[in-house]
Structure 1
Amino acid sequence: MDRWKDLLLRKLSCEKDLQTAYRLVLNFFNNQGFEYCAFAAYLGSPDKHTSKVNLNNYPYGWDRLYEQNGYASNDPLVAHCNQSPLPILWDETVFAQAPKLWRELNRQGLKYGWTQAVHDEQGAQYSLFSLARTHCPIDIEEHYGNLGYAIFASQRLHALASKKLVDAIEVQPRCHLSPREIEVLRWSAEGKTASEVGRILCLSERTVNFHVCSCMRKLNVSNKISAVAKAAQIHVI
């Protein structure tokens, strides 16, 4: 192994700060010929997560574009990695059911790459690690030549991100919602209107709205959707 590789990997194995560890990984794979490196860790799956860590050097605006278009719900890379820790190389065939996403990746210069997942045995935490570049396809020899490094890097980042996610949950203030308020939020999370929730719980629509407003006040948010999201985030529902 080249001396610089050994030094960087040793630094990575000892690093305790996630941001610094990511920069070491980015530097390593930049030197291996990859322009882009992305790491994302989730509590839950990428399309239904409650908390996440997202680190990448993708083109400006990509993260917002990805979120706004809801690409996580039909991203074939996400679908593959939900089921398998094996890496998947990007190509047009893989994105056959998501041509819009494939065109957008190419337009942004994210044309040649691969993605792999790290799964916890408990299944609660989940990470995606991707390498990409604008030019030059990735052949099998190069892929396997870098695979061991990518597995090591992704597992190290996953370990640091998992600790960050757990710590974030533990420091979140507990919010004391009543059992009835929790019921109202749970049905609201299912997309029920105040009138429908009232019929289900045998309450008037006015009473349901009263409970929603109480939840908004306790959760320090300004609308029902935000109340549902916040309650899910802190695992009240």
Structure 2
Amino acid sequence: MLSWEEEQIQSLLSAKTETAFFAVLSRIALKLGFDYCAFGMRLPLPIADPKVITLNNYSTSWQQRYTQENYIAVDPTVSHGMKSTLPLVWSDEVFSKSRAFWEDAQSHGLRIGWAQSCHDRRGVSGLLSLARSNDQFSISELNDISLKMSWLTQAAQQGLSRLLVPKFLPEANADLTPREIEVLRWTADGKTSNEVGDIMHISERTVNFHVTNALIKLNAPNKTAAAIKAAMLGML
């Protein structure tokens, strides 16, 4: 017999589309006692305006309100998730610096909740939020489901990134050679092609050859951008 975790990961990883994936995630959340579920994924690029993809089953009115008021800028679950991967249980104290947002969320039925983030080696971040309108958490409930929710965060990250990263961040799967990686490392440290050649005991022309190949694989306009991309994607 499959364990609970094995059953859920099979369901999540078998999803072929984002819609199918979120349908599975929502069903798992409901079985854990939550009416609402949201998963946001933040890609590390472009650096000036990182792409964010969000899937949720919140009411249309709350989704519109959240966007119109730019609540992402004051949402403490988001700021916490950017700094820590520890789970966060919603409370008045958590939302003490964003009271208007908290009161607005409660008026839309979002009163009890939990959130946790995760980050992978490519710099892709995910934030899982589970919520409901009533029934405060009890100690026994948290003890019973906290590990499952934390596990679900990791599984959701893996499942959704499998679908979205190839589509929105194909550079993340670039197959750089060891030489290309080494050249970009020295470039990221501010070395010129001539200096990199001296360090690696190869000609400047060979350095530029490796740089050119890296530019193509990373879809970068110049070597500085390539070095930054490779670093942000955890390749260096």
Deviation string 1:142-175 (CA, Å, 9 cap, x unpaired) is 1232122222222122123323343223579xxx
Look up the match of 1:226. Answer: none
Deviation string 1:159-204 (CA, Å, 9 cap, x unpaired) is 23323343223579xxxxxxxxxxxxxxxxxxxxxxxxxxxxxxxx
Taking a change above 3 Å as real, the CA distance of residues 31 and 92 of structure 1, as seen in their structure-2 partners, is: same
**Equivalents in 2 of 1:10, 1:66: separation in Å?**
30
The yes-or-no answer on 1:51 pairing with 2:51 is yes
TM-score (norm 2): 0.63
**Equivalents in 1 of 2:114, 2:108: separation in Å?**
16
Structure 1 residue runs of 5 or longer lacking an equivalent are 173-234
Please, what is the CA RMSD of the aligned residues?
A: 2.8
Structure 2 residue runs of 5 or longer lacking an equivalent are 172-228, 230-236
Percent identity, aligned pairs only, is 27
Look up the match of 2:128. Answer: 129
The SS at the match of 1:155 is helix
* 1:37-186 to 2 correspondences below 5 Å: 37-44=37-44, 49-122=49-122, 124-169=123-168
1:34 is displaced (CA, Å) by 1.1
**Equivalents in 1 of 2:159, 2:9: separation in Å?**
15
TM-score (norm 1): 0.62
Q: How many residues align?
A: 169
Deviation string 1:54-96 (CA, Å, 9 cap, x unpaired) is 1111112222211221111121111111111011010111111
Taking a change above 3 Å as real, the CA distance of residues 170 and 100 of structure 1, as seen in their structure-2 partners, is: closer
Deviation string 1:77-127 (CA, Å, 9 cap, x unpaired) is 1111111101101011111100011001100000001110011234x2111
Look up the match of 2:181. Answer: none
For residue 31 of structure 1, what is the amino acid of its counterpart? K
Checking the alignment, whether the CA contact within 8 Å between 1:41 and 1:53 is kept in structure 2 is yes
The SS at the match of 1:61 is helix
**Equivalents in 1 of 2:144, 2:67: separation in Å?**
33
**Equivalents in 2 of 1:110, 1:171: separation in Å?**
36
**Equivalents in 2 of 1:155, 1:126: separation in Å?**
10
Look up the match of 2:27. Answer: 27
Taking a change above 3 Å as real, the CA distance of residues 151 and 49 of structure 1, as seen in their structure-2 partners, is: farther
